[in-house]
Amino acid sequence: MSITKLPHGPGVGYKPQHYAAILDDAAPVRWLEIHAENYTGAGGRPIAQLRHLAERFPISVHGVGLSIGGEGPLDPDHLARLKDLCDWLNPASFSEHLAWSTHDGAFLNDLLPLPYNAATLTRVADHIDALQDAIGRPMLLENPSSYLAFTDSTMSETEFLAEVSRRTGCGLLLDVNNVFVSATNLGLDARQYVADFPMDRVGELHLGGHDEDEDDHGAPLLIDSHGREVADPVWTLLDDVLARLGPAPLLIEWDTDVPDWPTLAAEARRGETALTRAANRVAA
């Protein structure tokens, strides 16, 4: 099975306040992403709007609450809801986060990091196998934004992601903003991370905005907020990614302080320009 059926062009995270504007003129957006948990109900206006949009655009489903890295088994009711959504929507792509968000039956409203070692690798791979079996399609696993590193990690993040993909057959979602955020917070080289990433497994790229802060020692601390435009250094890092990967499905995420449609479309247009440059390099 193909990792993703999304077009190699810009997409945006769908927000209901943009519904009419998208139907009127979606240029340059070629596909839309939804958060799975917002569309697992029985019906109503959100489902009706999504059905209409799905007639015109490829849809990417992005899960945010499955807790792929959690210690316990995946919630069977959650898996059933995701299966139902995928069965009727037939999305072009399904993705989830390399993170955990549940503990002792409680849901934590955050995407929390994991140590990269053999035990975590086995647990994550088992959970991905369970998810892919449930929804009947391959998924994409997204690299996290990190604010700390674990001393009991025995492999790098890129090594961990490559091995998860090899074991499970899942694809990878490369969030370029997350790479920049993590590299800044942990003192790593973002370009080296990109050089080490298993690009042959990438099915989708994400870009989003981040906020700048300082830690308790006055060092830069970036927060993956998705609440503003993409920063210039992240666009620069995207060019490095595209030079290695070539054109790909590229999502603009803007989930808080959501702007008007022309502002979001302008960010997508900037993504379209970056993809065009990458295509021209391939053709040259």
CA dihedral 220, 223, 228, 229 (to 10 degrees): 60
Q: How far apart, in whole angstroms, are the C-alpha atoms of residue 45 and residue 232?
A: 37
Find the mean pLDDT for residues 125-143: 97
**Cα 36 from Cα 64, distance rounded (Å):** 7
Domains and CATH numbers, the chain: 10-283 (3.20.20.150)
> Is 171 a residue whose pLDDT tops 60?
yes
pLDDT at 150: 85
As a whole number of angstroms, the distance between CA 65 and CA 54 comes to 23
| Half-sphere CA count of 44, side-chain side, radius 13 A | 7
Query: Would you say how long the chain is, in residues?
Result: 284
Instruction: State the chain's maximal CA–CA distance in angstroms.
Output: 55
| Residue 134 pLDDT class (50, 70, 90 cuts) | very high
Question: Tokens at residue 30, please?
Answer: 């070629």
pLDDT in tens, 49-108: 999 999 999 999 999 889 898 888 999 999 999 999 999 999 999 999 998 654 444 443
Average pLDDT value over all residues in the chain:
92
Contact 70, 100 (CB under 8 A): yes
DSSP 143-204: PPP-S---TT--S-HHHHHHHHHHHH--EEEEEHHHHHHHHHHHT--HHHHHHHS-GGGEEE
In this prediction, residues 260-281 reach a mean pLDDT of 96
| Mean pLDDT of all residues in 37-56 | 92
35-39, 217-221, 270-274: the lowest-pLDDT one = 217-221
Using an 8 Å Cβ cutoff, are 46 and 16 in contact?
Answer: yes
Q: Map tokens 């959690």 to a residue.
A: 70
Predicted confidence at residue 106, as pLDDT, reads 42
User: What six digits make up the tokens of 6?
Assistant: 């999304």
Do the bridges between strand 211-214 and strand 220-223 make them parallel or antiparallel, or are there none, so unpaired?
antiparallel
Residues 4/92, Cβ–Cβ less than 8 Å:
yes
pLDDT for the residue numbered 258? 97
Tell me: pLDDT of 271 over 50. Answer: yes
Which token pair is 51? Answer: 């059905």
Q: Which of 132, 111, 128, 122 is nearest to 155 (CA)?
A: 122
Predicted TM-score (pTM) of this structure: 0.94
Q: How many CA atoms lie within 13 A of 276 on its CB side?
A: 7
pLDDT in tens, 211-250: 988 877 778 889 999 899 999 999 999 999 999 999 999 9
The per-residue pLDDT for range 91-116, each reduced to its tens digit, is 999 999 998 654 444 443 455 678 99
Amino acid found at 181: V
Closest CA to 13 of 64, 48, 55, 86: 64
Residue pair 13/267 in contact by the 8 Å Cβ criterion? no
Mean pLDDT check: name the lowest of 1-10, 18-27, 258-267: 1-10
Q: How much of the chain exceeds pLDDT 70, in percent?
A: 94
**Amino acid letter for position 155:** M
Span 9-29, pLDDT tens digits: 999 999 999 999 999 999 999
Distance CA 70, CA 18 (A): 34
